[in-house]
């Protein structure tokens, strides 16, 4: 990663380092050979010879993290404080795709230093969601690896070791300022309209002053010495050149007074000692890069490449949050989204291969993915398109697999007593075109099983059907049923229905909509729905409806015929509302 440390004038010593190579960490090097050659990266360090803020290299033994310069190692590092957000899932996906496309390693690291909010339940949920998406890691807290432990809470000894190295080298110092003193500094800076940088005395305190406070038992933090002048620039793989002025930062804390390391210090030490070559993360972490770059330099570690992915936005272009609806992987899973559809859709939020294609398997994404084609602008999460895409994936499933999914859902939600069988298979085939989510199938099936005849006949939309001699048509249908010809035809399945309806249409001198609309209303109780022939055959196949839970109130085909015989057609023709109990024979 290209980095430029630029100090202003008035300097008595200048050290220039050029040629930053592929960013894999090795043993600390002297300033003249700290980083290998590469044609597109450069570090310039301008360091005054006589200041305690010198960014000298720390001599440490880190041979265990030597790696081939061309070997890619990336990580996804969630905090187990809640559910896996879709933004985090996309970051994990981009890391996974980059690693697999380069033949590298994908690591999972748990950043659980927030001990009050972190839970193992959240950690397990995150791991479960990543596995559900098919993003399997090569190293992590559950499978181990050569660079563990993979939970930050288990790496405290390592953080303290590197903090002491920084203290011994002069890159950090003990700060004994109280919270009251620090707040006063912030207030003064605010009044002067200056950045809230540290201005306390402990950056230049004598050893005697420090030892006196230690003897008193005064709590202290470890604060990093930041150069007072200059700027830092990185060449982000997605965003291009990004720079910060160092005078806006001020000396920052790396270890709290309770001995706990802060986030930026932990992340830097972890990425370095785990030999992470590329840090691909959300753009909200971009400001952290300044602190982390200074720590990398002070510890003598080579910088990784950085790539900061844009935020996922809501339709109103604000950051996607809970107020916009479902935002976590677990929520979408419960709603009935498929993992391959979610992976496909998340990949398209800020990335594309330059073609019009919108559908990719995970394997195809690995083959097509490049970090250069990741867009630096925010991507809008379109829930309508995501739903549509999921529907396309559902329709591509093998009939047996789709029947298994929907049958299980129907039984789990209490609609059916069984999750498989002939009815389930035929119901899935009939209803699948109206199902974009697995959860949609619940309403689709309950609607299919319902018989809202009286509500339909009472609606304004049914007036044209009623006015087309529906009562006379109903009498003809009842006669066909009583004669046994309709029952016999349905026993022959769809071919039998087709032959019967053709013959019946001739007998009542109707065809097309004038034939099928009244048949739909009378036999299904609705004005709209799936294919009428397939629907009636399936209702006949269902028979007494033992497979349907009693709570659903399913009305069998035979019971529907009985209800038709009780309809007071004159009441509907006179636009009177007829209550269902008044016309049902008990």
pLDDT tens readout for residues 106-157: 999 999 988 788 899 999 999 999 999 999 999 999 999 999 999 999 999 9
Residue of 230, 173, 227 lying closest to 203 (CA atoms): 173
Q: How confident is the model at residue 322 (pLDDT cuts 50, 70, 90)?
A: low
Domains in the chain, ordered, with CATH? 322-395 (1.10.1160.10), 450-583 (no CATH)
- Burial (CB < 10 A; 0-12, 13-18, 19+), residue 265, is buried
- Report residue 416: phi and psi, to 5°: -115, 155
Q: Is residue 64 predicted with pLDDT exceeding 70?
A: no
DSSP notation for 406-472: HHHHHHHTTSBS-S-SHHHHHHHHHHGGG-SSTTHHHHHHHHHH---HHHHHTSGGGHHHHHTTHHH
Catalytic residue among 190, 322, 502, 511: 322
Task: Give the pLDDT confidence score for residue 403 in this predicted structure.
Answer: 96
351-365, 413-427, 558-572 — which is least confidently predicted? 558-572
- Asked about 322 being catalytic, the answer comes back as yes
Cα gap 86→337, rounded to integer Å: 13
Cα gap 121→127, rounded to integer Å: 10
Q: Is residue 324 predicted with pLDDT exceeding 50?
A: yes
Q: What is the mean pLDDT of residues 254-280?
A: 96
What percent of the chain stands above pLDDT 90? 73
Q: What is the pTM of this model?
A: 0.81
Q: Which two tokens stand for residue 369?
A: 């993915």
H or E stretch at 15: strand 15-18
Cα gap 79→117, rounded to integer Å: 9
Q: Is residue 59 predicted with pLDDT exceeding 50?
A: no
Using N-to-C axis directions, what is the helix angle for 422-431 and 532-542, rounded to 10°? 160
What percent of the chain stands above pLDDT 70? 85
Q: Is residue 37 predicted with pLDDT exceeding 60?
A: no
Task: Give the pLDDT confidence score for residue 113 in this predicted structure.
Answer: 83
Q: Is residue 328 predicted with pLDDT exceeding 80?
A: yes
Task: Give the pLDDT confidence score for residue 417 in this predicted structure.
Answer: 94
- Average model confidence (pLDDT) across the chain: 85
pLDDT tens readout for residues 213-243: 999 999 999 999 999 889 999 999 999 999 9
Most confident of 21-25, 28-32, 39-43, 298-302: 298-302
Q: Is residue 42 predicted with pLDDT exceeding 70?
A: no
pLDDT tens readout for residues 490-549: 999 999 999 999 999 999 999 999 999 999 999 999 999 999 999 999 999 888 778 999
Contact, 136 vs 92, CB < 8 A?
no
Q: Is residue 14 predicted with pLDDT exceeding 80?
A: no
Of the chain, the end-to-end C-alpha distance in Å amounts to 82
Contact, 537 vs 497, CB < 8 A?
yes
Residue of 133, 113, 129 lying closest to 121 (CA atoms): 129
Q: Is residue 57 predicted with pLDDT exceeding 50?
A: no
Q: Tokens 């602190």: give the residue.
A: 291
DSSP notation for 78-106: --SSS--BHHHHHHHHHHHHHHHHTT-EE
Q: Is residue 12 predicted with pLDDT exceeding 70?
A: no
Q: How confident is the model at residue 200 (pLDDT cuts 50, 70, 90)?
A: confident
191-200, 387-396, 527-536 — which is least confidently predicted? 191-200
């Amino acid at each position: 990663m290209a980095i430029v440390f630029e100090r202003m004038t008035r300097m008595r010593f200048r050290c220039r380092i050029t040629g930053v190579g592929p960013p894999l960490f090795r043993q600390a090097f002297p300033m003249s050979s700290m980083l290998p050659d590469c044609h597109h990266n450069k570090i310039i360090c301008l360091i005054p010879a006589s200041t305690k803020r010198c960014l000298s290299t720390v001599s440490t033994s880190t041979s265990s993290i030597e790696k081939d310069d061309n070997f890619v190692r990336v990580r996804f590092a969630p905090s187990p404080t809640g559910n896996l957000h879709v933004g985090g899932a996309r970051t994990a996906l981009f890391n996974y795709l980059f690693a697999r496309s380069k033949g590298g390693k994908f690591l999972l690291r748990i950043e659980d230093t927030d001990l009050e909010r972190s839970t193992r339940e959240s950690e397990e949920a995150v791991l479960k969601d990543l596995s559900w998406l098919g993003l399997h890691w090569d190293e992590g807290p559950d499978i181990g690896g050569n660079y563990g432990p993979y939970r930050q809470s288990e790496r405290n000894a390592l953080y303290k070791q590197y903090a002491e190295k920084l203290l011994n080298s002069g890159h950090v110092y003990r700060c004994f300022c109280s919270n009251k003193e620090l707040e006063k500094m912030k207030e003064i800076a605010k009044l002067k309209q200056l950045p809230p940088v540290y201005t306390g005395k402990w950056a230049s305190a004598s050893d005697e002053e420090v030892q006196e406070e230690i003897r008193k038992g005064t709590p202290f933090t470890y604060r990093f010495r930041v150069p007072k002048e200059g700027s830092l620039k990185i060449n982000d793989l997605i965003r291009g050149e990004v720079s910060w002025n160092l005078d806006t930062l001020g000396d920052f804390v790396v270890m709290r007074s309770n001995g706990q390391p802060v986030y930026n210090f932990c992340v830097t030490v972890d990425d370095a000692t785990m030999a992470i070559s590329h840090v691909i993360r959300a753009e909200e972490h971009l400001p952290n890069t300044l602190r982390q770059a200074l720590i990398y330099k002070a510890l003598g570690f080579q910088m990784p490449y950085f790539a900061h992915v844009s935020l996922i936005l809501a339709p109103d272009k604000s950051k996607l949050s809970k107020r916009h609806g479902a935002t976590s992987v677990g929520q979408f899973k419960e709603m009935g989204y498929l993992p391959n559809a979610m992976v496909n859709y998340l990949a398209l939020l800020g990335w594309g291969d330059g073609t019009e294609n919108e559908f990719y398997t995970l394997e195809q994404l690995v083959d097509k993915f490049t970090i250069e084609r990741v867009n630096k602008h925010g991507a809008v999460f379109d829930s309508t398109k995501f739903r549509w895409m999921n529907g396309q994936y559902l329709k591509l499933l093998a009939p047996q697999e789709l029947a298994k999914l929907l049958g299980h859902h129907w039984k789990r939600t209490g609609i059916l007593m069984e999750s498989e069988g002939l009815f389930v298979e035929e119901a899935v085939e009939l209803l699948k075109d109206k199902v974009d989510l697995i959860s949609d199938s619940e309403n689709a099936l309950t609607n299919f099983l319902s018989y809202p005849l009286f509500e339909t006949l009472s609606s304004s939309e049914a007036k044209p059907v009623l006015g087309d001699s529906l009562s006379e048509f109903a009498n003809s249908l009842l006669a066909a049923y009583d004669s046994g010809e309709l029952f016999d035809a349905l026993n022959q399945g769809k071919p039998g229905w087709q032959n019967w309806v053709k013959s019946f249409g001739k007998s009542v001198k109707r065809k097309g909509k004038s034939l099928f609309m009244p048949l739909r209303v009378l036999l299904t109780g609705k004005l709209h729905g799936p294919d009428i022939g397939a629907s009636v055959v399936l209702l006949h196949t269902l028979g007494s409806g033992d497979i349907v839970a009693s709570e659903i109130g399913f009305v069998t085909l035979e019971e529907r015929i009985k209800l038709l015989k009780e309809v007071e057609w004159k009441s509907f023709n006179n636009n009177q509302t007829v209550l269902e109990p008044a016309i049902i024979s008990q």
